[in-house]
Each structure stands twice: as C-alpha cells, then as structure tokens.
Amino acid sequence: MTSSPLRLAINGASGRMGQALLSLLRVDGRYELAHAVVSPGSVHDGEPVWLGQGLRYAHDWSRAPSLDAVIDFSGPAGLTAALEHCLAHGIPLVTGTTGLDAAQQARLDAAGTRIALLRAANFSLGVALLSRLLREAAAAMPEWDLEIVEAHHGRKQDAPSGTALALGHAAAAARGTTLEASAVYSREGRTGERVPGSIGFAVVRGGDIVGEHQALLIGQGERLELGHRATDRTIFARGALQAARWLVGRAAGHWQLEDVFAPLG
C-alpha cells in the first residue's frame, strides 16, 4: 500500500531556495505542493506556480489548505507569518531563515513548546553529519588545535559562513566552552603563539564555489581532517525535504538536522 503524498507549503517560494524546492516537488511523487507563499507585492503573487495547473502563488496564509508541514526560506517577516499559521494549526515547521531580531528569536524559541520545529543554517545532510563527527572528534581530542577553513563564491556577503560558525559552536560546546570565548577570526602581523584551546577560522572567496568546509584537528605529529564539499545547490533543497518528511509526527520541540540520522554506534 502506498502512503499519501506529504502535503507541503513552501514559504518564500519565489526565492532561490524556494524555486529549487518547487523543481524537486514537481517530479517527486512523495510530496504534494499545496500552498506556495511569496512576499506581499511580489510580481509572482496570483500567478500560476506551474503552467497548466491550478495552484497559484499567494501572499498570505488566509487560504492555505490542510498541510502536513511548512518549509520556510523567506525572511524575518515571512517567517513570522508562517510561524503564526503553524502555531494556530499545529503544523511542523522547517526553516532556514536567518536575520531574526531578539523578539523574533524569542518567539521562535517559545514555539518549540507547541510544535515540532527544525531550524538549520545549512540543509546539507553531509554538513549535518560533519557537525556530528566534529563534535565527537573535538571532545575526544581536547588538546588538539582546531582550525576551520571555509570557501564560497565571490558574491557571498558574510564571513565566516554561518555553517562555519555552526561547526565552531558545535566543537566549542563539545569541549565545554563557547565560541565567543575561544574563536580567533583573523591573524595578521606579530600575533604571538597560538592560544591553547582557541578555534581559528580562515576564509576563501572566489569564483563559483558552492560551499566547502574543512575542520582540521592538529596534534603533535599527526592531523585529522574532516571536510565537506558541495558541488550542487539542490542538495540544500533535498535536505529540507527530507527534514520535513522526518519531522512530521514528531513531538513538539526544537529538532536538529543531525536528528534525521540514526544514532551512530
């Protein structure tokens, strides 16, 4: 017996991630696109999502049908509207939206007591596994020096990347400290000796690099390298879809992309 397709809403449907998700949904029978939300005033508002089909882009949630999950890659205002709809109807929410202010972050934190919620800076399943492996390695080798190197295309606006910072936070927590206390973001001139326990970051920008992250654990006479290289942007959309499928039926709470994997060992 085949199960019914998972009914999804995509919030931020006209953005780069939204369009990548729509492309996958069009050919994957495990899912049904039930609602596609764009920002108010969008040129896509009211247009057909796919030619020859009845579903149209909408700028709000007033006519949203019954949903199994919502995937959000919009912006702070868009996430706020989606979150209110999910809370009102008990719908699981997967979100990759960043840039929230303190009040929005607090609202999102509180929402985890009422709905299943999964938020990630990077929806690559490989990066999620890298984070788990780095946390274990950092805890197992607490005296080894740790450096995180990341590379992205030349158009990227921030540095280090959100993923690199997330890796740093995971490693710092595994060692019983915080990234705020241990991070070194730049080295120039006479820096002096490396501070024991610090976590260094290095950044590469150029060309069309999709995303590369490498964690170097460096001991005396040996080095452990854990890395991930993305070559196709659709991996992030695939990861978000898998996260949504996994999240349906879970208890209320804040879940991590790492939770999608079965426990190691």
Query: Which residues in the chain are classed under CATH 3.30.360.10?
Result: 125-230
- Domain covering 125-230: architecture: 2-Layer Sandwich (3.30)
Active site residues: 152, 156
CB neighbours (10 Å) of residue 150? 25
**pLDDT of 1:** 39
pLDDT at residue 182 is higher than 50: yes
**pLDDT of 98:** 81
**pLDDT of 262:** 61
Query: Which residues in the chain are classed under CATH 3.40.50.720?
Result: 6-119+234-260
Exposure string for 192-217, b = 16+ CB within 10 A, e = fewer: eeeeeeebbbbbeeeeebebbbbbbb
CATH classification (class only), 6-119+234-260: alpha beta
- Write out pLDDT tens, residues 96-142: 988 889 999 999 999 999 999 999 988 999 999 999 999 999 999 99
**pLDDT of 34:** 97
Torsion of CA 205, 74, 95, 235, to 10 degrees: -50
Please state at what angle helix 125-140 crosses helix 162-174, rounded to 10 degrees: 30
**pLDDT of 214:** 98
- Write out pLDDT tens, residues 38-82: 999 999 999 999 876 789 999 999 999 999 999 999 999 999 999
- Write out pLDDT tens, residues 211-255: 999 999 999 999 999 999 999 889 999 999 999 999 999 999 999
Phi, psi at 72, each rounded to 5°:
-120, 120
Please report the sign of the dihedral spanned by the C-alpha atoms of residue 193, residue 197, residue 203, residue 209: positive
**pLDDT of 162:** 85
Gap between the Cα atoms of 52 and 244, Å rounded: 27
Q: Coil, helix or strand for 172?
A: helix
Gap between the Cα atoms of 70 and 85, Å rounded: 9
pLDDT at residue 6 is higher than 70: yes
